[in-house]
Chains A and B, each alone.
Chain A
Amino acid sequence: MNRPAGPPRRARLDLLDPLEVSKLGGIEVVTEGVVEGFLSGLHRSPRRGFSVEFAEHRMYQPGDELRYVDWKILGRNDRLYVKQFEEETNLRAMVVCDVSRSMAWTGSPDTILPKLGYAQRLIAALSLVLLRQRDATGLIVFDDEVRAVVPPRARLSHWRQLLHTLAELEAGAGTAAEPALRRVVDQLRRRGLVVFVSDLLLDRTLALKALRFLRHRGHQVLVLHIMDPGEVTLVGPAEARFEDPETRAAVVLRPRDWAGAYRETVRSVVGEWRLACRRHGIKYHRVTTDTPFGMVLREALAPGSRPG
């Protein structure tokens, strides 16, 4: 197994530049490093929302909060166990990942990960965190149709399967999120967590309809809006023909003339998504692909992200 190399020994991978982190090794190695860093950081941020209904013990792992350590067992046999509770162990999460052609794009191939590469690593890290918490985690991959479905499992070994699926992801064709989101219902019988990872270059009305449906079914829904920095700020040659890789729609313009107006449009679109999500109790995060993974994980796994 490759070990991360390059960054200082004490550096936390979850707070480094995603591209730099991705260069350290395969998804698995990188993700483990990111998760290790992320979990070590959680010590200083007590988690809330755990249920009081005890379920089982498990071995202490670095990053677990000390207040959940079972001191009696430590006193009896000098081993560290933490107590786990019913709700925590029974969480089922489904990650819905957009692999449309637009996700394969990056505005700066040398300095920024493609949106899909970023999403792969983010989902891997997120799944690992969930699985380590004994949360059942599944994955649905879609472009203009559902490409892959990995049912949720709580075993830690399930992460390998998720990794395998993520590693084989390739950019597809168009984008049709609604069928994929509706497939979640088949996988989550009880209330759970749905993480929708997409650049949201899709039919917003249909997507929101599906997300609302999930909320209606009692699921906690988290939308991670993946954006390349090049999509936030319009740059390019003096005049260019901008072409959509999915629809082939094109527009000719001078970026210098339109940069300001475009920035406003993006701000407006993001605002509309945020407002629409908030209105329906959906958590929304805009994530640019130059954001360290740890910051995104912190947002995604904040107490409000869990169903309750």
Chain B
Amino acid sequence: MIGFLHPWVLAGLAAASIPVLLHLLARREPPTVVFPAVRYLITTTQEHQRRLKLQNLLLLLLRTLLVVALVLAAAGPTMPLRGVAGHAASALVLIVDNSPSSGVVVSGTARLAQLQIAARAVLGHATPADALWLVSADGIPRRGDPTALAEQVGRLTVSPQRLDLGQAVRLARDVLASESRPGEIVLLSDLQASAVSPAEVTTPLLVGRSTVSSPPNTGIGRLELGPQPWSSDGGRITVALVGDSGPPVPLSASIGNRPARQALVRVGGAASINLPAVPSGWWPVRVQLDPDELRLDDGRVGVVRVAPVARVTWDPQDRFIAAACQVLQANRRLARGDEITLGRLGRGVSIVLPPADPAELGALNRALGARGVSWTFGSLIVTPAATDSGGILGRARVLRRYQLRPAASGRTGVLATVAGSPWLVRSGDVLLLGSRLEPTWTDLPISAGFMPFIDVLLNRLARGELTITSGAPGDAMDLPDLVTGVRQGDREWRVEGGGRYRPSDLGAYYLLAGTDTVGALSVNPDPRESLLAPASESEIRKLWKGARVVELPEVGELAFSSASRGDLRGALLWSALVLGLLELGMASGWRRAQ
């Protein structure tokens, strides 16, 4: 983009209209001259009119261009120019993609090391007058001077967080939006095809890519731990591999410190592995591949809860509940006992459903109040709605429900909602469900999700245990209301229940409610990071219009090119001289010819 040292001089461009104005003024009605040989004049003009008109237009154009060139030269124009030493003060966002895929070792060197060398080369061309930001996989733009940012680049390690490159470009663009200096974005990445997403490029974007192709890679894409809690008999896990296809690879899986179990798995396929019995408690499950060039995706972790099956009392008259419990009992997911009362308020842990007879509701609410339960049943709502999707159950139609009213301020203990209103809540050792588990109240009893729901309800929720979730580093995960802390190994963070938590590292996280462990998070790399195939140059240009894609070693030299500005005054003055000489030569030449 052309800039001017003295932009106010551009007002003089109005002078470019002088030749045209003179031409128009000269077109006023000329004096009449009586001349008998007009026929000769007409013959002459008919023969030469077009040529003379062209000559006049050319002269007019030359004179106008001459004025424009002189005015522009006086305004001191500069423009981005390659090969010009130094650059004007500019704003640059340097994106270094240290996502898990950057940890791949190519030709004996980690890809990240190549990116760091290129990043330092870019920063080496920066001046103190430049505004610089560094964006890495954590997605936080950090501003600093060239020295400080070079140190940060040197400290970068392979991050477990995935970096969406399109999102990073948009972030950089937003950072530069408020800058008055000419802006530029430099992106250094392995350009994984799965990480390249569309972005509108309004700022010069320089993309540095490695020319050395990535080696074949195999990673663990998925680890499924099955229904929880596991019984003391052990459990079964399912592992799926992603990456470049090849022969089956050995995989080991272990729970706690028990001996690992081995299996051969092919990329694209899945393997089921039985793990041995362990005592009750929270146990990490680890699966591991033999090391390859990308280590970060060779292992994956999960968390299982091992506990004895719930001992439940239920009313055989509740047909659907009874049927479900019998099936679960047959599958050793529960046993008869008095640990949990299902359907009514019992002495211990109780899962209370609204009574079939509305007349009994008042007595039930009073009993709940006497028990210290902070929730009561309210008015009956007969408007059909659906449960809101969550970790406990999916969407199920609810035809009738009682409004669940918190007795005190706040509404802690909400486990599931219908149309945003509490539907399943817990207060102490009592769980309240807003609808009876019958088809006239909800579709849940006749849906496929009914059995897993009863299982979760009895074995986990009734015991105060919450859902076990998984995600990738940097993902925002909702924390249950009662969670007060998060622990990973020896590290522990105080958190506020109901908020969101973003784990930054890989591994198993345990959710704490006071001193009790009430849930777990398993954090693993995004499986897309295992796909190292880069996006093609044409794809990049298609998604990021105007981007320049160069090889990593060239990035340093080409950075700040949008701010490398050449002085155009000389060229314009030469142009003016040439135009002037041309005008003089043409005008006098044609006059002589006439």
Contacts of A264 in B (CB 8 A): 44
Interface residues of A (CB under 8 A from B): 101-102, 105, 199, 201, 228, 231, 234, 236-237, 239-247, 249-253, 256-262, 264-266, 269
Question: B553 to chain A: closest CB distance in Å?
Answer: 63
Q: Mark B29-66, 1 if CB is under 8 A from A, else 0.
A: 11111111111111111011000100000000000000
A-B contact pairs, 17 of them (CB 8 A): A101-B36, A102-B37, A105-B35, A201-B36, A231-B35, A231-B40, A240-B31, A241-B30, A243-B34, A244-B35, A245-B35, A247-B38, A251-B42, A258-B594, A260-B593, A265-B43, A265-B44
- Is B491 in the interface zone, CB < 8 Å from A? no
Partner of B44, one of A201, A231, A247, A262: A262
Contacts of A105 in B (CB 8 A): 34-36
Given known A257-B594, A261-B47, contact A231–B32 (CB-CB < 8 A): no
Residue of A nearest to B48 (CB): A261
Report the Cα distance A253→B47, complex, angstroms. 14
- Is B591 in the interface zone, CB < 8 Å from A? yes
Report the Cα distance A105→B33, complex, angstroms. 11
Docked-complex contact B38 and A258, CB < 8 angstroms: no
Question: Which of B29, B33, B39, B44 has the largest count of A CB atoms less than 10 A from its CB?
Answer: B44
Contacts of A259 in B (CB 8 A): 594
Given known A240-B30, A241-B31, contact A253–B36 (CB-CB < 8 A): no
Question: Which of A247, A250, A256 has the largest count of B CB atoms less than 10 A from its CB?
Answer: A250
Report the Cα distance A53→B593, complex, angstroms. 58
Q: Is the interface of A mostly helix, strand, loop or mixed?
A: mixed
- Is B1 in the interface zone, CB < 8 Å from A? no
Partner of A261, one of B29, B37, B39, B44: B44
Contacts of A246 in B (CB 8 A): 36
Residue of A nearest to B590 (CB): A257
Report the Cα distance A246→B38, complex, angstroms. 10
Partner of B36, one of A231, A234, A236, A252: A231
Report the Cα distance A258→B44, complex, angstroms. 8
Question: B570 to chain A: closest CB distance in Å?
Answer: 36
Given known A199-B36, A239-B30, contact A257–B41 (CB-CB < 8 A): no
Docked-complex contact B594 and A244, CB < 8 angstroms: no
Docked-complex contact A244 and B30, CB < 8 angstroms: no
Contacts of B26 in A (CB 8 A): 239
Contacts of B44 in A (CB 8 A): 258, 261-262, 264-265
Q: Mark B488-528, 1 if CB is under 8 A from A, else 0.
A: 00000000000000000000000000000000000000000
Question: B278 to chain A: closest CB distance in Å?
Answer: 107
Contacts of A234 in B (CB 8 A): 41
Report the Cα distance A234→B33, complex, angstroms. 12
Residue of A nearest to B43 (CB): A265
Nearest 3 A/B pairs, CB to CB = A260-B594, A102-B36, A244-B38
Starting from the known contacts A201-B39, A244-B38, 19 additional A-B residue pairs (CB-CB under 8 Å) come to A105-B34, A105-B35, A234-B41, A242-B32, A243-B38, A251-B41, A251-B42, A253-B41, A256-B594, A257-B52, A257-B594, A258-B48, A260-B594, A261-B44, A261-B594, A262-B41, A262-B44, A265-B41, A266-B37
In residues 405-427 of chain B, which contact A (Cβ within 8 Å)? none
Docked-complex contact A265 and B38, CB < 8 angstroms: no
Question: A244 to chain B: closest CB distance in Å?
Answer: 4
Question: Which of B26, B33, B37, B41 has the largest count of A CB atoms less than 10 A from its CB?
Answer: B37
Docked-complex contact A237 and B43, CB < 8 angstroms: no
Residue of B nearest to A244 (CB): B38
Contacts of A247 in B (CB 8 A): 38
Residue of B nearest to A259 (CB): B594
Residue of B nearest to A237 (CB): B31
Report the Cα distance A200→B208, complex, angstroms. 84
Contacts of B34 in A (CB 8 A): 105, 243, 245
Docked-complex contact A262 and B40, CB < 8 angstroms: yes
Residue of A nearest to B33 (CB): A240
Docked-complex contact A231 and B39, CB < 8 angstroms: no
Residue of A nearest to B38 (CB): A244
Contacts of B594 in A (CB 8 A): 256-261
Question: A71 to chain B: closest CB distance in Å?
Answer: 54
User: By the criterion of a CB under 8 Å from any partner CB, how many residues of chain B are at the interface?
Assistant: 24
Docked-complex contact A250 and B38, CB < 8 angstroms: yes
Given known A257-B594, A258-B594, contact A249–B38 (CB-CB < 8 A): yes
Report the Cα distance A237→B32, complex, angstroms. 10
Report the Cα distance A244→B32, complex, angstroms. 10
Question: B50 to chain A: closest CB distance in Å?
Answer: 12
Residue of B nearest to A202 (CB): B39
Question: A201 to chain B: closest CB distance in Å?
Answer: 6
Question: B28 to chain A: closest CB distance in Å?
Answer: 9
Question: B37 to chain A: closest CB distance in Å?
Answer: 5
Docked-complex contact A244 and B39, CB < 8 angstroms: yes
Given known A237-B30, A258-B48, contact A244–B36 (CB-CB < 8 A): yes
Docked-complex contact A241 and B33, CB < 8 angstroms: yes
Given known A249-B38, A256-B591, contact A242–B45 (CB-CB < 8 A): no
Report the Cα distance A231→B594, complex, angstroms. 16
Given known A253-B45, A259-B594, A262-B44, contact A243–B39 (CB-CB < 8 A): no
Report the Cα distance A249→B52, complex, angstroms. 21
Given known A256-B591, A260-B593, contact A242–B31 (CB-CB < 8 A): no
Docked-complex contact A252 and B30, CB < 8 angstroms: yes
Residue of B nearest to A249 (CB): B38
Question: B56 to chain A: closest CB distance in Å?
Answer: 8
Report the Cα distance A259→B48, complex, angstroms. 12
Question: B189 to chain A: closest CB distance in Å?
Answer: 66
Contacts of A265 in B (CB 8 A): 40-41, 43-44, 47
Docked-complex contact B48 and A245, CB < 8 angstroms: no
Question: A117 to chain B: closest CB distance in Å?
Answer: 15
Docked-complex contact B33 and A243, CB < 8 angstroms: yes
Docked-complex contact A249 and B42, CB < 8 angstroms: yes
Report the Cα distance A249→B46, complex, angstroms. 14
Report the Cα distance A237→B30, complex, angstroms. 9
Residue of B nearest to A232 (CB): B37
Docked-complex contact B32 and A250, CB < 8 angstroms: yes
Report the Cα distance A199→B44, complex, angstroms. 18
Contacts of A101 in B (CB 8 A): 36
Docked-complex contact B36 and A258, CB < 8 angstroms: no
Residue of B nearest to A258 (CB): B44
Report the Cα distance A237→B38, complex, angstroms. 16
Contacts of B30 in A (CB 8 A): 237, 239-241, 252
Contacts of A262 in B (CB 8 A): 40-41, 44
Question: B44 to chain A: closest CB distance in Å?
Answer: 4
Question: Which of A101, A239, A256 has the largest count of B CB atoms less than 10 A from its CB?
Answer: A239
Report the Cα distance A234→B594, complex, angstroms. 11
Contacts of A241 in B (CB 8 A): 29-33
Report the Cα distance A261→B50, complex, angstroms. 13
Contacts of B591 in A (CB 8 A): 256-257
Docked-complex contact A251 and B45, CB < 8 angstroms: yes
Question: B58 to chain A: closest CB distance in Å?
Answer: 14
Question: Which of A242, A246, A260, A266 has the largest count of B CB atoms less than 10 A from its CB?
Answer: A242
Docked-complex contact A240 and B32, CB < 8 angstroms: yes
Docked-complex contact A251 and B38, CB < 8 angstroms: yes
Docked-complex contact B35 and A243, CB < 8 angstroms: yes
Question: A106 to chain B: closest CB distance in Å?
Answer: 10
Report the Cα distance A250→B36, complex, angstroms. 10
Report the Cα distance A178→B443, complex, angstroms. 117
Report the Cα distance A250→B47, complex, angstroms. 16
Residue of B nearest to A230 (CB): B35
Report the Cα distance A151→B36, complex, angstroms. 30
Report the Cα distance A236→B33, complex, angstroms. 8
Contacts of A249 in B (CB 8 A): 38-39, 42
